[in-house]
Amino acid sequence: MKKILQDLSYAELETLVLSMGEKKFRAKQLYDGLTQGKAITQITSLSKAFKERLCEEYEDAPVKIKETFYSADGTEKYLFEYADGNLVEGVLMKYKYGYTQCVSTQVGCRMGCKFCASTLGGLIRNLTAGEILSQILLVNALHKNEVAGQGAQARAVTNVVLMGSGEPLDNYDEVLKFLRSVTAEGGVCISARNISLSTCGIVPKMYRLADEGIPLNLTVSLHATDDETRARVMPVAKAYKINEILKACDYYFKKTGRRYYFEYTLIEGENCDEEHAKGLINLLKGKPCHVNLIRLNEVKERSLRATGDKDAYRFLGFLEKGGLSATLRRQIGVDIGGACGQLRASYMEEDRRV
Ligand code: SAH
């Protein structure tokens, strides 16, 4: 595979441009073009000869949108294809305050959560920072006419969640580099405060992230109130206990001053009775956190079942009465396979049938 220009920072692009005997201002043209989601050969301000030389070493376009799915509620889901043929998915959710894009950080995942489709085939490979960033660059370009601003300033995506396929903290260095580039001034420049990183709870990496000094929203997938239940649905729980996760969250708050979030997927007969609500209240009461309840998006390869609406609201009621800040997440994009990894899994299945 060729190298990827989107992996380079602005300063690194400048060094590259100069080393190729081009004028320094070409770096700005190149950076702006890439920020606008263009392939190298589409950047009209650069000479054909220079672009050809770049393309000898670098991918013209590291990722393409292979297919787009439109939900009745406005949500869009994309199947991205990388230069090596690997597929990941992404989702764009349109809210009144802006567009939120859900990005993938790995092809597949090795965490093995029982309810999740991304992990069905294990981890294929990590994505590089530039490959993750490119998901946003392409989607921004698609929607540039829906926002104010021109050229590089036209940014449709205002919020980013690292909740697509993959475990971000299992691809720490590239994810960190991505966070630096997506927040960089002059680029797509998304505020760290508008970025949420979701982890299954890899404790040592949570401490490391807290020390990076990036004020993003840390979200932990909890899904259970005791280690035994948690380990039944999330194998990673065998390595890191809930208590250790909570300590790491407190450290995150101490270092960044930002409250943290928990995701709690409601699974029928597993984690959503009154006793579980009490367990959650015991664990989290008084902590600077918010709980997002998620309805399980049933994955056909898995036997776990979703909780009905009535029980979901009942569970939410218990938490609220117990003094926790909690919301039941609105279900969006269900008609287009909104959950993690489902689209890629069904696509690959179809591919195999062909
Ligand atoms: N690896 C990260 C991010 C991945 S997914 C993590 O574990 O947090 C983002 C969220 O979606 C996680 O909370 C994950 O547990 C949840 N999720 C995955 N598959 C799901 C499904 N089928 N139904 C509901 N939530 C799901």
CA dist 2 and 325 (Å) reads 47
Q: How far is the CA of 345 from the centre of ligand 1 (A)?
A: 15
Give the domain ranges of the chain.
Answer: 5-57, 63-353
Tell me which of 102, 118, 163 to substitute to probe ligand 1's pocket, judged by most ligand atoms within 8 Å of the beta carbon.
163
pLDDT tens digits, one per residue of 280-329? 999 999 999 999 999 898 887 778 899 999 999 999 999 999 999 999 98
Is 80 exceeded by the pLDDT of residue 258?
Answer: yes
Q: How far is the CA of 317 from the centre of ligand 1 (A)?
A: 23
pLDDT tens digits, one per residue of 212-222? 999 999 999 99
CATH topology (fold) of 63-353: TIM Barrel (3.20.20)
DSSP string for 39-73 = -GGG-TTS-HHHHHHHHHHB-S-SEEEEEEEE-TT
Atom of ligand 1 at shortest distance to CA of 116? 19
- pTM of the full structure: 0.94
Which of 109, 116, 272, 340 is flagged as catalytic? Answer: 340
pLDDT band at 333 (very low <50, low <70, confident <90, very high): low
Contact (Cβ atoms closer than 8 angstroms) between residue 278 and residue 315: no
91: number of Cβ within 10 Å: 27
> What is the average pLDDT value for the chain, to the nearest integer?
91
Q: Please choose, from the candidates 209, 207, 204, the residue with its C-alpha nearest in 3D space to the C-alpha of residue 192.
A: 209
CA dist 246 and 220 (Å) reads 9
pLDDT band at 98 (very low <50, low <70, confident <90, very high): confident
CATH topology (fold) of 5-57: DNA polymerase; domain 1 (1.10.150)
Q: How far is the CA of 46 from the centre of ligand 1 (A)?
A: 42
CA dist 227 and 97 (Å) reads 38
Residue 42: the pLDDT is 98
Q: Which residue has the CA at smallest separation from atom 18 of ligand 1?
A: 116
Q: Indicate the residue type of 226.
A: D
- Residue 89 is a catalytic residue: yes
